[in-house]
Structure formats: C-alpha cells, structure tokens
Structure 1
Amino acid sequence: MGPLIRPLRSFANGLGLAWWARVQTHGPDVTYWFGPFVTRGSLERELPLFLEDVASEAPVSIDHSCLRCRRGEPFTIPASDG
C-alpha cells in the first residue's frame, strides 16, 4: 500500500465517494461496515477475507452490499434489544 492511500481513502470518505461494504448477519443480528476503499474493485478484492472472518463467528446468515457513501464510527452495530 502506498503512503498516500490512507489520506486518499479518508478524503474520498469525507466527500461521500468512498466504497464500503455493509455486511449484515442474522443470528446474531449485527451490521458491520468494511471500508473505506477508493475503488469498488479494491473493495471487492478485499471483501472475501472480511466475509470469511465474519463467517467464522457462525452466524445463521450473512448478506452484504457494496455502497458508495460516507461512513464514520461505529463500524460494528449490534441490533438493539428494544
């Protein structure tokens, strides 16, 4: 990774141009955000490893979508109990 990629990702995210994956699991119900990435292709190259990591927690199901948006923390959001 080049020395400029982190600031470029931050800049793209600030403008709402960064690519993120929203990964939702059921059983447990959790939403994970994975990113930011400057290009959709770079997100798609890294996403399988992230999905494998999430799958190791043995959820009942995993759904994901790739979105171009601006995100901040939290990057892991458990479903509320209420």
Structure 2
Amino acid sequence: MSNINISLPESMKVFVEEQVAEGGYGSVSEYLQELITQDQKRKMQEHIEELLIAGLESGEAIEINDEWWQQKRTQLINQLHQEK
C-alpha cells in the first residue's frame, strides 16, 4: 500500500476526526478510503448511465428475444471462423 500526505485546514481535520470517531472507522485512512470508494462507485454509475442513454438514443428500438440472441450468436461465430 502507498502513502499520500495531504494538508487540510484545521476545520476539515477536526471534521474528519469526528467522522472517524462517529462512523466507526479505525483510522483516518479507512475513512478516506471509504470516501474514495464511494466516489469511484458514483463515477462508474454515471458512466453506466451515460452508456445507457447513448444506447437508447442510438437508433430505433428492436425487440430482443431468444431468436434474436440465436441469430447474434450465429453471426459472431461466423465472424470468428472468417477471421481465422
């Protein structure tokens, strides 16, 4: 694990220490790791939502059913065989 040194104003330092004490964290590092993890999850969720919106806006909707999936599998298998 790597170390990072950060500088905080005294008011933020006090806030972080309070959050550690009240939130059941074992250390400031645990608290900051949790904040970073939450931010990573939030950004990933935003990215997924952007992709979903792009998909919805990408063209006319089609019905996806078992027959469609079978055709898609067949197309992909044929592509793989052609590339070899």
- Above 0.5 in TM-score? no
Rg larger for: 2
Q: What interval of TM-score do these two structures reach, taking the shorter chain for normalisation?
A: under 0.3
Higher helix share: 2
Question: TM-score when scaled to structure 1?
Answer: 0.23
Higher strand share: 1
Which of 1 and 2 has higher RCO (CA within 8 Å, sep 6+)? 1
